[in-house]
């Protein structure tokens, strides 16, 4: 992929963030999500790609836009696209931090076509890459990560979604002595934090969305982090759906390279509300300011983009004598 596309992808996430940020704190997560979808879909029309949405808002009959299989772009290189126009719908609706607009892009066939179901995940940063094992006990993974960081287990911070299904691993982490940051929604941004020095996050554990897992893997791959995952179907219908999407072994441990193939992946995100790494959308008279992150695995480039957007211009004043 041409590196000039990176900024074009940022414009796509910026559009989604600016549109959905208007709904911040209103309590209407559906309207916020729809605004993000509409804006992102429209922005794709000006990008010189022939893109196929492989992870999106659902099937064609569930989502009018950005559905799985939808074609986007103005024409050009064939790419797979994973989108989450608004990751953290509840966070925006409640005015809480941590919501982002995000996309991952790879050449055709480069992203796992993950079904819309749960996925068990473990994610770490570059220092602990190659040290994790999703099948190992929590304490063993904590010890491995602590060793990689040359610190004690008690000095680690683990991010876990605050859900009843995680009661077991929460207890295991606490019994091991590590600290926990419980989050209410949205595990993409916290997983990225685990791969960035200075955020105070060292690992993400637990069961979240499979589509978000692929997007997370793209970001971690660009940052040199690591991730393992396994699909977590809740019924036979989900198992059959996974098989229909080409995943024959539902119990397979998926490495970061299984989730994101090859070396030409890009990732872009724009904060909607404040995140640890990015500032949320700030509106002012006639415009908005956004803060974004764009990364490319092939070059190892990580860019932060601080942008001012003029959303409406004052009409010219014409004096008639």
In this prediction, residues 3-17 reach a mean pLDDT of 93
Q: What angle do CA 287, 81, 238 make, to 5 degrees?
A: 120
What DSSP string runs through 107-168?
ETT-B----SSEEEEEEE-GGGTT---TTS-HHHHHHHHHHHTTS-GGG-EEEEE--GGGHH
Fold of 118-259: D-Maltodextrin-Binding Protein; domain 2 (3.40.190)
CA 265 to chain centre: 14
CB 110, CB 264: distance < 8 Å: yes
Predicted pLDDT of residue 253: 97
CB 166, CB 140: distance < 8 Å: no
Q: Which two tokens stand for residue 310?
A: 């003029």
- Yes or no: is domain 5-111+265-310 CATH 3.40.50.150? no
**Residue spans per domain, the chain:** 5-111+265-310, 118-259
In the structure, what pLDDT confidence band is assigned to residue 318 with cuts at 50, 70 and 90? very low
Predicted pLDDT of residue 245: 85
pLDDT digit string, tens, across residues 128-166 = 999 999 999 999 999 999 999 999 999 999 999 999 999
CB 288, CB 272: distance < 8 Å: no
Q: Which two tokens stand for residue 3?
A: 């590196």
CB 167, CB 89: distance < 8 Å: no
């Amino acid at each position: 992929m041409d590196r000039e596309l990176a900024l074009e992808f940022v414009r796509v996430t910026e559009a989604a963030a600016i549109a959905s940020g208007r709904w911040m704190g209103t309590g209407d997560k559906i309207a916020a999500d729809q605004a993000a979808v509409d804006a992102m879909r429209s922005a794709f029309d000006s990008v010189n790609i022939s893109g196929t949405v492989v992870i999106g808002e659902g099937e064609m009959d569930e989502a009018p836009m950005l559905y799985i299989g939808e074609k986007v772009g103005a024409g050009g290189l064939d790419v797979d696209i994973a989108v989450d126009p608004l990751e953290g719908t509840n966070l925006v609706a409640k005015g809480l931090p941590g919501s982002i607009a995000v996309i991952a892009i790879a050449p055709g066939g480069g992203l796992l076509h993950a079904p819309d179901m749960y996925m068990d995940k473990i994610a770490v940063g570059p220092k602990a890459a190659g040290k994790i094992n999703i099948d190992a006990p929590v304490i063993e993974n904590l010890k491995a990560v602590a060793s990689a960081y040359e610190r004690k287990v008690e000095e680690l911070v683990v991010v876990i979604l605050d859900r009843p299904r995680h009661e077991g691993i929460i207890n295991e982490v606490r019994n091991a002595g590590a600290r926990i940051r419980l989050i209410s929604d949205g595990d993409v941004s916290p997983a990225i934090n685990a791969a960035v020095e200075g955020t105070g996050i060292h690992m993400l554990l637990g069961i979240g969305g499979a589509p978000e897992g692929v997007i997370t893997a793209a970001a971690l791959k660009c940052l040199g982090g690591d991730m393992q995952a396994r699909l977590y179907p809740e019924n036979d219908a989900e198992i059959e759906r996974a098989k229909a999407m080409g995943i024959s072994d539902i119990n397979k441990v998926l490495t970061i390279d299984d989730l994101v193939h090859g070396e030409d992946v890009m990732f872009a995100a724009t904060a909607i509300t404040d995140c640890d790494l990015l500032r949320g959308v700030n509106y002012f008279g006639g415009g908005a300011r956004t803060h974004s992150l764009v990364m490319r695995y092939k070059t190892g480039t990580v860019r932060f983009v601080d942008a001012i957007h003029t959303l409406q211009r004052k009409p010219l004043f014409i004096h008639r004598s």
